[in-house]
Amino acid sequence: MSKHPLKCPECSDFKKLEIFWVRYKKEKNKQLDINIPFFICPTCGHKKPLYEKEYYDQMTEKDFEEMEDGEMLDIVFKYENKKFPRYNHLNLIYSSEDYYLIPGLFRDEDDGYLTPVFFDKDILLYYNNHPNYSVKFGSFSSCNIYYQGKPLFNWGFGINRNGKIFKWLGDLNEDFKDESMLPHLKRFQASNVKSDHDIFSKFYLSQNPFSPSDMFQASDNETQLFIIKNEVDEVFYDKYEIKLTKIHIEDYFEYYKPPILEEKEQIFNAYISLNKLIIENIQTDLLKRKLIEKFKSKEINSLGSLKTLEKFLLEFHQNDNYEIKSILSSLYVLSDLRQLQGHFSDSSFDSRYNFCKERLHLNNDSTHFQVYETLIKELIKSFTDIKNLMNI
């Protein structure tokens, strides 16, 4: 399998393009300014220029020979600051360096189609809060906007590691062709921001695959959580003729509003919905009935939904390879986070919030969004474990 060209040689992360301004000087006041592209790993800092240092040294040496004393020049490469005239009517800013230098984007016909155009993520708030629109995240790094249940844009958007959303210039041109899209174009123009040259995301990998595994990216967010939770419902039904939860999978996508920004209120409101969907909807009474039928157990009446589920798995699916309490840990954390909503000013808030972070293996200084993302990943893991445990 071929290795992705952005894959860091030192760690498991992927590198990003960064462009550094460098000034070369020579005696008699000769000066050359040059922008040098590097590929840098955000995790371990591994850094490599587009061309080796010798290339730039030789190039500037040659230019200095032809320069007059006291002359100052900028070297501009062909890939820099280029405009693609066929897209001028869109009035969007972008960086042609991205198109020419980020692996997989340049095409022989040189039409700039796959140039990434960046937008502030807060544009999604408008659509997420509007009654006729919704925003759905296929993963933590891809999303689309829907109008009355139908996608408003083909292929959707990528979300990069700095939380900016982006989409290809050529696709935007297609999307905004229809006159009815003009108000949307205006809104997007207002949120259009300068490129930060990072497009690493599931969106980029699946659209510009370097290997089959790039192409088929499993989701890592709520979408995946709801799918796996639905599978657990099916396993329960196969074994006990009851579903674990009352609600159907389509209802999740209708009901659930994912948090968009690093904003406490938004993220804690998402915990309320998540808790309602996957914990409060557990069919506790039916689980208890099964427990009573089999074990004539009476002391379960007072148990809440999570404790009942724990008891049920312990009684029916105890297995030495699984520690049921730790499988369910992420659900207990969700339940605790939900309790914290509305108690932001309580004196115990920080210590209780930190205890949630600790159980997610996060530091106390983790951001609200990091807690949210990690919780979702852990919940996916919990439901996968429940499914595997029940299938033994």
Alpha carbons within 13 angstroms on the beta-carbon side of residue 346 total 12
Beta carbon of residue 6, minimum distance to Zn ion (angstroms, whole number): 11
Distance between CA 70 and CA 370 in Å, rounded?
A: 52
Nearest CB to Zn ion, comparing residues 43 and 154: 43
CB 274 within 8 A of CB 334: yes
Residue 282's nearest CA partner among 335, 343, 221, 352 is 335
Nearest CB to Zn ion, comparing residues 10 and 74: 10
Structure tokens at 202: 């599931």
CB 242 within 8 A of CB 290: yes
Coil, strand or helix: which one is 1? coil
Beta carbon of residue 16, minimum distance to Zn ion (angstroms, whole number): 11
CA distances from 322 to 145, 204, 307 (A): 40, 37, 17
Query: In 10 A of CB 321, how many CB atoms?
Result: 7
Coil, strand or helix: which one is 355? helix
Beta carbon of residue 14, minimum distance to Zn ion (angstroms, whole number): 8
Beta carbon of residue 204, minimum distance to Zn ion (angstroms, whole number): 18
Name the residues that contact Zn ion, by CB under 5 A. 8, 10-11, 13, 41, 43-44, 46
Nearest CB to Zn ion, comparing residues 14 and 113: 14
Beta carbon of residue 159, minimum distance to Zn ion (angstroms, whole number): 21
Nearest CB to Zn ion, comparing residues 15 and 229: 15
Nearest CB to Zn ion, comparing residues 40 and 260: 40
CA distances from 122 to 193, 265, 266 (A): 12, 15, 12
Beta carbon of residue 59, minimum distance to Zn ion (angstroms, whole number): 28
Residue 183's nearest CA partner among 139, 130, 258 is 130
Nearest CB to Zn ion, comparing residues 6 and 114: 6
Beta carbon of residue 118, minimum distance to Zn ion (angstroms, whole number): 23
CA distances from 139 to 115, 143, 254 (A): 22, 7, 17
How close are the terminal C-alpha atoms of the chain, in Å?
A: 33
Nearest CB to Zn ion, comparing residues 46 and 288: 46
